[in-house]
Structure 1
Amino acid sequence: MDPSEVVMKYLRDQNRPYSTNDIFSNLREQIKKPAVQKALDYLVEQGTVTEKVYGKQKVYVVKQEHLNAKDLGQELHDLDSKLNALSHKLTSAEQELKSSENLFHELQCSPTTSEAQEEQKVLQNKVQTLKEKLESISKNTVKLPEDYKERIQKDHENNMKEWKKRKRLCMDIIETILESYPGSKRSLLNEMGVETDEDVGVPLIL
């Protein structure tokens, strides 16, 4: 039987739209795929079969004058919905595959168990070394000679005496100026730019 007759009979018997691949598969490869496509092109040219394009997909359906156009349109719409659903499933599967590939790549880049154990040993050795160094520093105390500490204490006492002496002299001068100054003591100190011990937080009382 001529390929176009086989294809036409199949479409008429099934009475629904099919793609070239569907017809080729459903005929159980009785006709080679190029011959199926050639037969469909011939039938479309003869006007006995209608070709419909949905995106990149072409479907073919036999023309029947007695077939209700509304029913045919609904069937084509259902087929279009199925194609869209399959397209979404394909997109989802591609995304899942990409995620799996990324996870596989991350696992390949991760260290193996033996490598992780070796790295752990290195870090433990570093921690132990730092602990020993800290312990050594803690034990390394320096003792000052007694005569050195006494000299430091004596110098401190002399400096304090001199500081108190100069402070008393300064305050006497300020008190003398205050006798003829029209403002308050605080105003005078601010004008002269003098800061007291209290201003800078020195808790010493003469």
Structure 2
Amino acid sequence: MELLAQEGKIMEKVYGKQKIYFAVQSQFADVSDSDLKEMDSQISQLNSQIHTVTQDCKQLDMALKELNSSMTTPEMTSEVQHLTQECTAYEERLERIKSLTNHVTPEEKEKVYKERDLYLKEWKKRKRLASDMVDAILEGYPKSKKQFLEEVGLETDEDCKVKMPNI
């Protein structure tokens, strides 16, 4: 760099221990304002072309990613065969179930529904009793209900995300 500065091809400025080198401006031809405006318009046209090409590239990249993530024809063929076999297996199973003669009798169905209703009533009764006991304890308890339930180790239906079915 110092050799080029001595030859006069570049300029050198010293600021303390630092040296700065820059091109000699006299070696370049003068440019008119109209030339600068023309260059600016060319720059803006090229920038718009860059933007257009970039958008096209993004769209093509998205299309490529979509195509790469989709199944090929042989994969699709094997998938269709697999699903067809699975479907026929399910159809055979359905036919076997339909052909069975040991369906549930109305009496058995009624018995199951009565047992269900009995267990639901018992569930409601026990839940109400437990709730009444907790409320009675909480009347003299200094902390909140949530803190009491944590200390005692009680879990409510809501804590376990259990919803009582309708009767």
Report the TM-score when normalising by structure 2. 0.42
Structure number with the bigger relative contact order (C-alpha 8 A, sep ≥ 6) is: 1
Point out the structure with max Rg over C-alpha: 1
Report the TM-score when normalising by structure 1. 0.34
